Structure 1
């Protein structure tokens, strides 16, 4: 609405802006796609360079420690001492040589384990106390299982991350077997402090997490120490995490496939999902260590591309757009708005009845054509004014005649509907019920329109009396016509089966109605289904037999209301249904009620909902303070209070209350 109230100048500017936006939208999308692709390509290059850098950062110091450990294991004094641990001379030579290797190791520490004695020697200070075992390993200790696993394997060396409880340190351990005459005599090696190893070699940047994993996928080094699979490199069961545990289930197979390739030539990259966020996984393999260096890069967080140049481009594009808008605005003002303003003034004068107006100077463009057309229009208006006045008078007479005809037709329709109401009321058994059930029943019958689709029935045969409600689909005249069919079907069922079983009557009604409607050419989609509830009363035996199709029977014992539900299927539903009887005995002192869904579904109350069971129970409770014959007015009064003036009646309503004599 605000756009319609704007002037032509503002509309023109708005249109220009919209056109520019329409042009810029796909251009921006294309530019964004190009930027995303460039960003992705730069990210891939960044990831490859990062992988190579991390591989070098890990490979160089780790390879150095591993090489020194292997030289340490092959040294002759090492093999001599391992062959004869108790020889004092060989021990002195070994520990002197070991101290020189200790000084070369990055952490200035080494260890030696003798396979036969299980003695564990460790030195990180160069003191003579190193010649005394730090402790002794045992195959019965779970924490020492790594040593026996390595001794049992055929690997030339192993690298594992493991906490040493005896030494109170957690390191990246380099375990190299010592051989003499083809026999594996023990292990020597060194260890890198895990905390310093991670801080120096696995420095994480914003959005980048770098880790080391083995070929089984177990994490050997990670900035988060709780994710490290301690002891996995030595074949121990552990509670650590694997790389595949960090990604989504859908990406775990891809990660496992990359781990199996062991490709040392190229950097491997794959898109994965980590905690619902897209990441780029980059992996490179270090064959000497049998490790992968893996980095998870969050492209939304990692500083791959500086945003300054992108903001500069956006500012430049914005400035160009503003200059274009200003240039177009000035051109529109001079070429279009000013001539049209003059033409508008002439149009305002013409609207006030002044046919002698001064039009703007005629030009050869579209505005000049508009000015000429406007002049011709003035002449045409003058010539047609008198003709229109005569036509208006003639049309007014025609409308008055049509109004009289419509009023007559409306009266005929209303008279027909009133007559239909009389016919529908004639089939209701009011007089018979007053005569046979005086004081034993009450009725509320409220069609939504003049006529409706709800009706009630009463029949008596000997000691048995039949009371029932039928709710036909539809309202007004269509619903009333359906009641004629339903009544005919019920009468046919009573003639054939009597009043012994309400279920048999419903079964027969369903059969007869299906036969009737099958012969009729009804419009597709016209609802023909019906709800019904039938009760056979036997006052002599104090017994009530009930069967329902989507309707329930309610019984009031003076304290609470009990519902006996009918079948869930309707009459003339999509599929035939087998109806059953519900037999209630010892019914003396009970009041029974049947109601169509129009009463229960009527919106009202504070929230505009239909009546719930407790609300209907409240209505019956308040009605039972009156004699049964007077309860219909109480039930209707409760409904009026429920819907108040805020909600109109939505459906036909029919309620019957009764009791045994």
Structure 2
């Protein structure tokens, strides 16, 4: 099975220097965009420089050198404008061409990285984008780079980085989904009428799920990790790797609380997220390590023909509608809550013991677990968060719908609520029943 080590390897390529052979070579040093434009000597007069420009109509800027060492840079348009003013020819015609030159141009070595040149070009009062810059090699004049060439080079570099990063993330998505694929197969076998939806906000996401058949039923977990995108995906693979090794078919059913407690210790160990309290005038918690990442989760074991539920929760909950003779008798949503403590965070005690609770489901029930992607989404006519109350109201109103149909109903309702608003988070929900 694909592992988190693969994801590290894949994403590392995004910052490597490997170049796609199908793409042209990138400009990475200043010398690659420097044009070998003839320089003029500092002794040249302004009158002579005017004639020089007239004989070289394509040259936008020229370097002024002393013994082949650049000392100034003259922009054609600036020179022509200033030299063309009344009395300029009479006053400055016989003077050195340095008179109208930029005597503090940007001068860089040919091996200077393009990024360094760009940083200098965007400094306040810099004239690089207008005049260009001078490039040296071994201390002597080499050529002139234009501001436009600098922009094109930087644009190509950023485009290449983006292509490489997106390619890596696409492959990372394949790795993440391969870790989820086994769960989908196990769920289909054990609960054929269940509906499982996983919608990452980005290509990869921080929500995940895990299902495995046990000796007498099914173990399931819905998990909401810190963050979304690539950081969230790393957390999901840490979690899924642990669950794959921890939950196995055996003579005993996995205890959801024990799994959560062990996962808490595992994440804190892997990420070094331990907190210690310093005493003094004011006691306070000092975090060890730079990260404070973790997850919320709902874990359960379903046995007894899908009616006996053992569950443990870290800040997520399950909504249940018990079966009844008519829909009117089953409008109240029962909420199965667990511990109000996250998993793996630095302020969660290492030895925190989550609690397993029991609940007997009634034939014809509907059960629903979701991460906070729907609940926290801003939208609707007032641009407010969706909230739990609105979500569970929809769940109760559509209690006659089987999980597959309710999943479609919820997605349609969520899309209408979101409207033109940006998706705030990953979305993952799970609906199931014992009916077929």
8 Å Cα contact 1:623/1:635 also seen in 2 = no
The CA RMSD over aligned residues, in Å, is 3.5
Partner of 1:654: 428
Residue 383 of structure 1, CA deviation: 7.7
Q: Does 1:484 align with 2:213?
A: no
Q: Does 1:494 align with 2:213?
A: no
Distance in 1, matches of 2:197 and 2:295, equals 19
Distance in 1, matches of 2:82 and 2:395, equals 72
Partner of 2:168: 416
Aligned residue runs from structure 1 range 436-451, under 5 A: 436-439=190-193, 441-451=194-204
Partner of 2:321: 556
- Cα distance change, pair 563–381 in 1 and its aligned pair in 2 (3 A): farther
Q: Does 1:616 align with 2:409?
A: no
Q: Does 1:432 align with 2:186?
A: yes
Residue 448 of structure 1, CA deviation: 1.4
Distance in 2, matches of 1:351 and 1:657, equals 76
Partner of 1:246: none
8 Å Cα contact 2:247/2:254 also seen in 1 = no
TM-score (norm 2): 0.60
Residue 467 of structure 1, CA deviation: 1.7
Residue 611 of structure 1, CA deviation: 2.5
Residue 479 of structure 1, CA deviation: 0.9
Secondary structure of the residue aligned to 1:527 is coil
CA shift digits 1:348-372 (9 cap, x unpaired): xx9976842589xxxxxxxxxxxxx
- Cα distance change, pair 530–541 in 1 and its aligned pair in 2 (3 A): closer
Partner of 1:582: 357
Aligned residue runs from structure 1 range 183-222, under 5 A: none
CA shift digits 1:285-314 (9 cap, x unpaired): xxxxxxxxxxxxxxxxxxxxxxxxxxxxxx
Secondary structure of the residue aligned to 2:410 is helix
Larger Cα Rg: Structure 1 or Structure 2? 1
Aligned residue runs from structure 1 range 3-82, under 5 A: none
Residue 538 of structure 1, CA deviation: 1.1
Secondary structure of the residue aligned to 2:374 is helix
- Cα distance change, pair 412–586 in 1 and its aligned pair in 2 (3 A): closer
Partner of 1:572: 344
Aligned residue runs from structure 1 range 253-402, under 5 A: 355-357=84-86, 380-381=99-100, 391=133, 394-402=146-154
CA shift digits 1:504-550 (9 cap, x unpaired): 21112112222322399x99442321101012111437211221001
Distance in 1, matches of 2:102 and 2:165, equals 46
8 Å Cα contact 1:543/1:587 also seen in 2 = no
Partner of 1:540: 305
Partner of 2:124: none
CA shift digits 1:8-67 (9 cap, x unpaired): xxxxxxxxxxxxxxxxxxxxxxxxxxxxxxxxxxxxxxxxxxxxxxxxxxxxxxxxxxxx
CA shift digits 1:436-462 (9 cap, x unpaired): 3222x1122111111011101101112
Distance in 2, matches of 1:534 and 1:606, equals 35
- Cα distance change, pair 552–541 in 1 and its aligned pair in 2 (3 A): closer
Q: Does 1:597 align with 2:375?
A: no
Residue 491 of structure 1, CA deviation: 2.8
Partner of 2:137: none
Partner of 1:511: 265
Secondary structure of the residue aligned to 1:600 is coil
- Cα distance change, pair 402–455 in 1 and its aligned pair in 2 (3 A): same
CA shift digits 1:562-607 (9 cap, x unpaired): 2111211001131322211221114311111111122211122233
Higher relative contact order, chain-length normalized (CA < 8 Å, sep 6+): 2
Partner of 2:122: none
8 Å Cα contact 2:271/2:291 also seen in 1 = no
Distance in 2, matches of 1:634 and 1:496, equals 35
- Cα distance change, pair 445–351 in 1 and its aligned pair in 2 (3 A): farther
Distance in 1, matches of 2:306 and 2:248, equals 23
Partner of 1:53: none
Distance in 2, matches of 1:496 and 1:526, equals 34
8 Å Cα contact 2:170/2:203 also seen in 1 = yes
Partner of 2:292: 527
Residue 656 of structure 1, CA deviation: 0.6
Partner of 2:206: 453
1:640 to 415, 420, 427: 415
- Cα distance change, pair 404–561 in 1 and its aligned pair in 2 (3 A): same
Residue 633 of structure 1, CA deviation: 2.1
Distance in 2, matches of 1:509 and 1:437, equals 25
2:227 to 464, 469, 474: 474
- Cα distance change, pair 352–656 in 1 and its aligned pair in 2 (3 A): same
**Richer in helix (by share):** 1
Distance in 2, matches of 1:621 and 1:405, equals 54
1:403 to 137, 155, 178: 155
CA shift digits 1:378-424 (9 cap, x unpaired): 98436889x97575863433432332232222111101100111111
8 Å Cα contact 2:220/2:299 also seen in 1 = yes
Aligned residue runs from structure 1 range 230-241, under 5 A: none
Residue 434 of structure 1, CA deviation: 2.3
Distance in 2, matches of 1:658 and 1:489, equals 25
Distance in 2, matches of 1:618 and 1:351, equals 75
Distance in 2, matches of 1:406 and 1:383, equals 30
8 Å Cα contact 2:215/2:253 also seen in 1 = no
Distance in 2, matches of 1:393 and 1:518, equals 49
Residue 639 of structure 1, CA deviation: 1.3
